[in-house]
């Protein structure tokens, strides 16, 4: 996004034009920014370890148009559910281009996962006999919880360590692979996902060492040639203007150094190195355009907008910060204001105090930054405030990539039994 005079543009399209054409609240993605983010990360990792591939964690932003951009760039898909496997299929990816990392799977999930022929990543040793009851994955991995996790999102998003629900305990890992091998499975990988939104490059080499110390022993003792090692996602972005971003070049170099040294220490055949980030590709490549509907002066001065916690859940869910701009007024004098959406919940008062232009007025457009990851994907219907639309900008071109929900969407799949319809 850039500012020309007092007006903001996404790509080459003024936010005013987008709001007028598609309405508000509106998620807007910048195709060129997504491609640039992806290429920057890919070239850094390939430089230090050429046999490298990203799988895009589609949970962060599941619009098929966005996933298609990453597919065109060469990414596979990391799917958390059968529906995400189907989404991958819809954009032309299946088989070994898809990694299925669900947790606490049902029998139906397992059957459909097996039928789809994707890489099966098991979250627990107890899943193995349940999977084998229905068939044998051609290639599989276990998700290892290496006993350590870190998160810049909040403690609830720490995906590994003793308090996480994910992955195998390191002590179970040898046994898990031994059982899988004894069952006749021949092709293996290994996986972990310990952190979220990390901007410290050293963290990535630290977790690589943790996993490789567990997996290296398994490979050596069970004579398994791992085809891939997946280090998960977690490549971070800054959310506050004063925060530094991740030095991706340093992260890639440190990871590759540790990885290569552990591969040689344990005498492994060099596996493909994989990661499955999402936030780094799409997080800073989308904005929400919202509108100010009213301004209230009561105990506090509060700006009421059409962007509620149902539109962007992260602030109410995790206390996350998202920077806000006011179109046309950024250079005006500032005052401390609150800002909220339209829901009947006080957690919808998602900005308690922020320095915003004091001239903000009804009808103004606000622009919320870093909305591409875990934004629309976590939006929901509440109070009859329905999910917004999504648009994609590519230079001066723009496209609607998901329509706004309407009343029919709200009542879809509901039924009123006959005795209640009188
Ligand atoms: C298993 C798994 N892989 C990858 C990701 C993507 O993480 P990020 O967006 O932090 O890169 C997630 C996110 O929660 C995840 O659960």
Burial class (CB in 10 A: 0-12, 13-18, 19+), 406: exposed
Instruction: Tell me the two tokens of residue 212.
Output: 């490789």
Q: What DSSP element (H or E) covers 140? A: strand 139-143
Q: Dump pLDDT digits (tens) for 169-179.
A: 999 999 999 99
Q: Dump pLDDT digits (tens) for 81-93.
A: 999 999 999 999 9
Instruction: Tell me the two tokens of residue 203.
Output: 């963290």
pLDDT at 422: 83
Quick check: 94 and 118 in contact, CB under 8 A? yes
DSSP class of residue 165?
S
Decide the pairing of beta strands 139-143 and 150-151.
unpaired
* pLDDT, average across residues 378-396: 98
Domain boundaries, the chain: 2-28+283-411, 102-275
From 75, 156, 199, 276, mutation site for ligand 1 pocket: most ligand atoms within 8 A of C-beta: 276
pLDDT bin (cut points 50, 70, 90) of residue 352 is: very high
Take atom 14 of ligand 1 and give the residue whose Cα is closest. 196
What CATH number labels 102-275?
3.20.20.10
Does ligand 1 lie within 6 Å of residue 208's CB atom?
Answer: no
pLDDT at 399: 98
Does ligand 1 lie within 6 Å of residue 232's CB atom?
Answer: yes
pLDDT at 154: 76
Domains 2-28+283-411 and 102-275 equal at CATH topology level: no
Q: What is the rounded CA–CA span in Å between residue 360 and residue 329?
A: 7
Please count the other Cβ atoms lying within 10 Å of the Cβ belonging to residue 48: 18
pLDDT bin (cut points 50, 70, 90) of residue 152 is: confident
Q: Dump pLDDT digits (tens) for 257-281.
A: 999 999 999 999 999 999 999 999 9
pLDDT, averaged across the chain? 97
Decide the pairing of beta strands 389-394 and 365-368.
unpaired
Going from the Cα of 60 to the center of ligand 1, the distance in angstroms, rounded, reads 8
What atom of ligand 1 comes closest to residue 234's alpha carbon?
10
pLDDT at 257: 98
Take atom 7 of ligand 1 and give the residue whose Cα is closest. 233
Residue of 143, 68, 134 whose CA lies nearest to 102: 143
pLDDT bin (cut points 50, 70, 90) of residue 156 is: confident
Whole-Å CA distances, 119 to 69, 189, 220: 22, 9, 22
Strand ranges, E, within 187-255: 187-191, 195-196, 228-230
pLDDT at 159: 87
What CATH number labels 2-28+283-411?
2.40.37.10
Residue 41 has pLDDT above 80, yes or no: yes
Q: Dump pLDDT digits (tens) for 211-259.
A: 999 999 999 999 999 999 999 999 999 999 999 999 999 999 999 999 9
Residue 157 has pLDDT above 80, yes or no: no
Residue of 282, 273, 277 whose CA lies nearest to 53: 273
């Amino acid at each position: 996004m850039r500012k020309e005079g007092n007006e903001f543009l996404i790509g080459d399209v003024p936010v005013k034009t987008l709001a007028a054409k598609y309405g508000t609240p509106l998620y807007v993605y910048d195709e060129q920014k997504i491609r640039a983010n992806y290429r920057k990360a890919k070239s850094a990792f390939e430089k230090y370890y050429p046999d490298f591939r990203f799988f895009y964690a589609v949970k962060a932003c599941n619009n098929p148009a966005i996933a298609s951009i990453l597919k065109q760039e060469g990414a596979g898909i990391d799917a958390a559910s059968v529906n995400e496997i189907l989404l991958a299929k819809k954009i032309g990816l299946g088989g070994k281009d898809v990694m299925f990392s669900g947790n606490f799977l049902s029998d139906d999930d397992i059957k459909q996962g097996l039928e789809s022929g994707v890489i099966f990543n098991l979250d627990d040793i107890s899943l193995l006999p349940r999977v084998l009851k229905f068939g044998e994955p051609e290639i599989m991995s276990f998700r290892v919880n290496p006993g350590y996790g870190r998160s810049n999102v909040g403690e609830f998003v720490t995906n590994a360590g003793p308090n996480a629900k994910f992955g195998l305990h390191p002590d179970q890992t040898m046994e898990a692979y031994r059982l899988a091998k004894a069952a006749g499975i021949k092709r293996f990988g290994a996986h972990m996902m310990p952190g979220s939104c990390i901007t410290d490059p050293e963290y990535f080499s630290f977790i690589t060492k943790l996993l490789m110390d567990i997996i290296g022993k398994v490979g050596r003792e069970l004579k398994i040639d791992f085809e891939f090692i997946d280090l998960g996602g977690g490549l971070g972005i800054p959310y506050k203007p004063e925060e530094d971003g991740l030095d991706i070049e340093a992260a890639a170099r440190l990871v590759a150094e540790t990885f290569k040294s552990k591969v040689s220490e344990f005498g492994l055949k060099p596996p493909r190195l994989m990661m499955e980030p999402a936030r780094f590709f799409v997080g800073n490549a989308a904005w929400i355009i919202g509108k100010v509907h009213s301004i209230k002066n009561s105990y506090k001065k509060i700006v009421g907008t059409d962007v509620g916690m149902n539109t962007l859940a992260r602030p109410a869910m995790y206390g996350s910060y998202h920077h806000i701009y006011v179109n046309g007024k950024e250079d005006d004098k500032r005052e401390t204001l609150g800002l909220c959406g339209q829901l009947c919940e006080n957690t919808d008062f998602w900005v308690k105090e922020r320095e915003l232009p004091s001239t903000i007025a009804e009808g103004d457009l606000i622009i919320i930054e870093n909305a591409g990851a875990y934004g629309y994907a976590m939006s929901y219907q509440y109070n009859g405030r329905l999910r917004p639309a999504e648009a994609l900008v590519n230079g001066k071109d723009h496209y609607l990539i998901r329509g706004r929900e309407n009343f029919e969407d709200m009542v879809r799949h509901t039924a009123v039994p006959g005795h209640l319809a009188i």
